[in-house]
Amino acid sequence: MSILNRKLLIRPYVSIGLVVVLFLGTSGVIIYFQKTLLEIEEALPIKLAKQESDIRVLINDMGHLVHSIDFARTDQSPKTFRMVVRLTLQIEQHLEKISEDYQFNDVLGASAVHARLSPAIFDIKGWLTDGLYNFEPNSAQTMKVAETRARHAHEEAEILLQQVSRTAIDVLTEQSLRIDNFRSIMIITLTALAIMTIGLVILGFRLQNIVFALKESEEQIRYRANYDSLTNLPNRLNFTEHLSDALARNRRDQGQIALLFIDLDRFKTINDTLGHDFGDELIRQVATRICQAVRETDVVSRLGGDEFTVLLANMTDEIHASIIAKGILEQLARPFLLFGHEVYSGASIGITVSPQDGADAMTLLKNADMAMYEAKDQGRNTFRFFTAQMTDRARQFLELDKEMRRALTQNELQIRFQPIFELHDRSLVGVEALLRWQHPDKGLILPDDFIEVAEETGLIEDIGHWVLRRACFEAMAWLEHDLHPGFYLAINISMRQFKGGLDRKRLSEILDETGFPADKLLLEITETLLMDDDARIREVLSDFREMGVRLAVDDFGTGYSALSYLREFPVNTLKIDRTFIQDISTSSSNRRLVETIISMAHGLDLVTIAEGVESSDQDVLLSELGCDMGQGYYHCKPVAAAEIDKLTAVTAPRVKAV
Ligand code: C2E
Ligand code: MG
Ligand code: MG
């Protein structure tokens, strides 16, 4: 489980714990306040009741005193008198106690009672012990005065007691009102606090979710930056880092690593013809198969498109790299099932080894790429180890490209024309335009030395356009002569020109510009172009045929084209490759092969041209085999337009049109 996932699991527990703590805390506070309030509520009435009862006891005693004095006045016995004195002392003590007890806590006005009764008791006690004026302490007169004083004091105390009761009720009412208010405020405050807490917790959760989402998208961004979204394999950036790390480790441990560069052989065709969904599915399945063919520790990545790399670290032997490459090729040679369609792809692999071939990531990637192209050149579905010569070739390639661009602008390109003759009567039936490069230093360069590079770099699009315009323009001179009715100008067209936008419109523009008639133009295309099975090319070729332009398959027999293509494409001429012609007079198998091609072509209503006819034997034999036309050094080498002009000026017998 990733660290991120673990964090995602832990965080909610922390939040829930926080909520529980807050909830318990708030509840605790509420319970505490409630309890305190109850205590206050209960304590006050008890206190009031005690004060009230103390005062009531005092007033009762005062009542007793009044009755006792009254009784003692009539009784006149010393015993009764002593009882009155004792009661007076008792009341005095009681008064002192009340005064002390409620000195600081006089809620009900005990001091008022004290103030009323104390002087009376003081007087009565004095009179009863010292006597009154000239009366004896226990005389009837003294007792009478004392009784009157006691009665008045008692009555006043009674009135005060009533006030005390009212005060007690007022105090309790006020107190309970205050407590009620306090309780309400407290409950409102705590409720608000609780709501705020819940709000904060919810906010916290939401913030946390936002943080998680941000974290997640950050992870995703990081993932996207490092991994290919289609295959989930490391991407170029990530792979380069792996490679650099492995190289650094290697320097330390003095080990060896190999880098495999894999490119699918038929991906583009599958992608173009079946669509991107099929292409994507193929890439996914290829990724899975490559991973199955390597060790756990090897790093497989997708650089983009149909390019994959494998990093083999800790290699002890180069053989190991070739075993892995072979395993991958075997895996990829098996058919792929794409949405119910069975397709074959195959791959080419380039291998480079460090430290022998290079010590940095960029060099190794470049080497492996070069080796991969070499593997493709060797006929695909194979692997090649990088060699130093490949670097030289790459350098030459770049140099050539630069020079060719200059040649195009500096008029270094020229066109030679090679005549094509009817074999049975030697009449001139056409010419093939062949490109030449008059290099200022290197002299004349033939197309085989530069066309391939121009095709790879794409410069052939401009060169091809130039050839079409130039050849048509130069050939215009011959049209004034009395030519063979089927006379044609053949021009080689590279597949790349179609991809670069050669179509009906562009060809019409050239023909309009030069004035060359479409029905005298024959375009030579290769077998590989037919194999490409590109609907657009097929459409363009049909357009050309509609315009009256003829089409020939050049170098027939060297490619792997299925014969069915000849029926499907609107071609009308087959040019049998020179390699079949060159030993036709000595090799019976070649002769039979050429014979078969000719009869098959005629069966399909196609005209045949033999290329590279170098001897009269070949010329005679081809004529016997029924080949229609021939082109070769035996008849004429490629020459300048002026030479052809001379040839066309000779009236040629008209026998057969192409
Ligand atoms: P190709 O179209 O098959 O042209 C015939 C080649 O055979 C020419 O080579 C020609 O000089 C050569 N040839 C003719 N007769 C004989 C013979 O009797 N013996 C031998 N050994 N060779 C003979 P070239 O001119 O060097 O052209 C080579 C190839 O370059 C052409 O093969 C064609 O595929 C390509 N090419 C030439 N010009 C152009 C062009 O303008 N555009 C494109 N895309 N390709 C061109
Ligand atoms: Mg040709
Ligand atoms: Mg040819």
Split at pLDDT 50, 70, 90, the class of 635 is very high
**Rounded Cα distance, 654 and 486, in Å:** 8
- CA-577 nearest atom, ligand 1: 3
CA 108 to mean position of chain CA atoms: 83
**Rounded Cα distance, 305 and 235, in Å:** 11
Closest C-alpha among 655, 599, 629 to residue 423: 629
Return the structure tokens found at 352: 């480079």
| Protein residue with least CA distance to atom 21, ligand 1 | 612
Overall size of the chain counted in residues: 658
**pLDDT of res. 561:** 57
* Amino acid at residue number 71: F
Q: Which ligand is nearest to the CA of 467?
A: 1
**Rounded Cα distance, 314 and 639, in Å:** 60
Task: Output the CA 522–ligand 3 centroid distance in Å.
Answer: 13
- How many Cβ atoms from other residues are within 10 Å of residue 422's Cβ? 22
Q: For a pocket test of ligand 1, which of 404, 446, 611 has the largest count of ligand atoms closer than 8 A to its C-beta? A: 611
**pLDDT of res. 653:** 43
Split at pLDDT 50, 70, 90, the class of 657 is very low
pTM comes to 0.55
Pairing mode, strands 299-304 and 256-264:
unpaired
- Residues lining ligand 1, Cβ inside 6 A: 418, 434-435, 446-448, 451, 464, 467, 492, 494, 524, 554-555, 578, 611-614, 631-633, 638
**pLDDT of res. 278:** 93
pLDDT digits (tens, 9 = 90+) for 67-76: 888 888 888 8
CB burial of residue 486 (10 Å; 0-12, 13-18, 19+):
buried
> What structural domains and CATH numbers belong to the chain?
16-224 (no CATH), 227-386 (3.30.70.270), 401-648 (3.20.20.450)
Task: Output the CA 612–ligand 3 centroid distance in Å.
Answer: 8
Task: Output the CA 634–ligand 2 centroid distance in Å.
Answer: 17
Lowest model confidence (mean pLDDT) among 230-234, 315-319, 548-552: 315-319
Return the structure tokens found at 59: 């007033």
Task: Output the CA 130–ligand 1 centroid distance in Å.
Answer: 165
Round the average pLDDT of the chain to a whole number and report it.
87
**pLDDT of res. 15:** 67
- How many Cβ atoms from other residues are within 10 Å of residue 28's Cβ? 10
Split at pLDDT 50, 70, 90, the class of 551 is very high
Q: What residues have CB less than 8 Å from 204, skipping those under 6 apart?
A: 15, 18
Lowest model confidence (mean pLDDT) among 80-84, 282-286, 438-442, 616-620: 80-84
CB burial of residue 334 (10 Å; 0-12, 13-18, 19+):
exposed
**Rounded Cα distance, 228 and 302, in Å:** 7
Residue 391 · residue 368 · CB < 8 Å: no
| Protein residue with least CA distance to atom 37, ligand 1 | 434
- Mean pLDDT throughout 355-366? 92
Q: Can you say whether the dihedral through the CA atoms of 46, 47, 52, 58 is positive or negative?
A: positive
- Mean pLDDT throughout 425-449? 96
**pLDDT of res. 562:** 62
411: left (phi over 0), alpha (psi -120 to 50) or beta: left
As a whole number of Å, the CA-based R_g of the chain is 60
- CA-471 nearest atom, ligand 1: 41
- CA-497 nearest atom, ligand 1: 44
Ranges 214-218, 321-325, 432-436, most confident: 432-436
Q: Which ligand is nearest to the CA of 575?
A: 3
Q: Of all helices (H) and strands (E), which one includes residue 236?
A: helix 236-253
**pLDDT of res. 367:** 93
Task: Output the CA 492–ligand 2 centroid distance in Å.
Answer: 5
Task: Output the CA 601–ligand 3 centroid distance in Å.
Answer: 16
Q: For a pocket test of ligand 1, which of 492, 522, 614, 635 has the largest count of ligand atoms closer than 8 A to its C-beta? A: 492
Closest C-alpha among 657, 554, 557 to residue 607: 657
**Rounded Cα distance, 322 and 385, in Å:** 9
Lowest model confidence (mean pLDDT) among 351-360, 627-636, 645-654: 645-654
| Protein residue with least CA distance to atom 42, ligand 1 | 492
**pLDDT of res. 5:** 46
CB burial of residue 600 (10 Å; 0-12, 13-18, 19+):
middle
* Portion of the chain with pLDDT greater than 70, in percent: 95
Q: Can you say whether the dihedral through the CA atoms of 146, 151, 154, 159 is positive or negative?
A: negative
- How many Cβ atoms from other residues are within 10 Å of residue 325's Cβ? 25
Split at pLDDT 50, 70, 90, the class of 534 is confident
Q: What residues have CB less than 8 Å from 601, skipping those under 6 apart?
A: 574, 607, 608
CA 183 to mean position of chain CA atoms: 58
**pLDDT of res. 6:** 45
What are the two backbone dihedrals, phi and then psi, of residue 551, each rounded to the nearest 5 degrees? -125, 135
**pLDDT of res. 12:** 63
| Protein residue with least CA distance to atom 41, ligand 1 | 435
Peptide bond into 355 cis (omega under 30): yes
Ranges 160-169, 191-200, 483-492, 641-650, most confident: 483-492
Q: What residues have CB less than 8 Å from 7, skipping those under 6 apart?
A: 215
Q: Which ligand is nearest to the CA of 576?
A: 3
**pLDDT of res. 222:** 82
Task: Output the CA 629–ligand 1 centroid distance in Å.
Answer: 16
Pairing mode, strands 307-315 and 256-264:
antiparallel
**pLDDT of res. 615:** 96
Task: Output the CA 634–ligand 3 centroid distance in Å.
Answer: 16
Lowest model confidence (mean pLDDT) among 222-231, 402-411, 441-450: 222-231
In the predicted model, is pLDDT for residue 654 greater than 60?
A: no
Closest C-alpha among 527, 459, 641 to residue 447: 459
- CA-614 nearest atom, ligand 1: 18
Task: Output the CA 14–ligand 3 centroid distance in Å.
Answer: 80
Query: Looking at per-residue confidence, does 470 or 28 come out higher?
Result: 470
What does the DSSP assignment read for 525-577?
E-HHHHHT--HHHHHHHHHHHHHT-EEEEEEETSS---THHHHHS---EEEE-
Lowest model confidence (mean pLDDT) among 137-141, 391-395, 533-537, 616-620: 391-395
**Rounded Cα distance, 587 and 594, in Å:** 11
* Portion of the chain with pLDDT greater than 90, in percent: 46
Lowest model confidence (mean pLDDT) among 2-11, 310-319, 377-386, 527-536: 2-11
* Amino acid at residue number 229: S
**pLDDT of res. 658:** 36
**pLDDT of res. 656:** 36
**Rounded Cα distance, 263 and 260, in Å:** 10
Task: Output the CA 600–ligand 2 centroid distance in Å.
Answer: 21
Task: Output the CA 434–ligand 1 centroid distance in Å.
Answer: 6
pLDDT digits (tens, 9 = 90+) for 147-205: 898 898 888 888 888 887 788 788 788 878 887 887 788 788 878 877 887 888 788 78
**Rounded Cα distance, 453 and 404, in Å:** 9
In the predicted model, is pLDDT for residue 97 greater than 90?
A: no
Residue spans of alpha helices (H) in 275-344:
276-293, 318-333
- CA-434 nearest atom, ligand 1: 38
Split at pLDDT 50, 70, 90, the class of 125 is confident
In the predicted model, is pLDDT for residue 282 greater than 90?
A: yes
Q: For a pocket test of ligand 1, which of 434, 496, 526, 528 has the largest count of ligand atoms closer than 8 A to its C-beta? A: 434
| Protein residue with least CA distance to atom 33, ligand 1 | 492
Residue 100 · residue 110 · CB < 8 Å: no
- How many Cβ atoms from other residues are within 10 Å of residue 216's Cβ? 12
**pLDDT of res. 322:** 87
Q: Of all helices (H) and strands (E), which one includes residue 79?
A: helix 78-101
Split at pLDDT 50, 70, 90, the class of 1 is very low
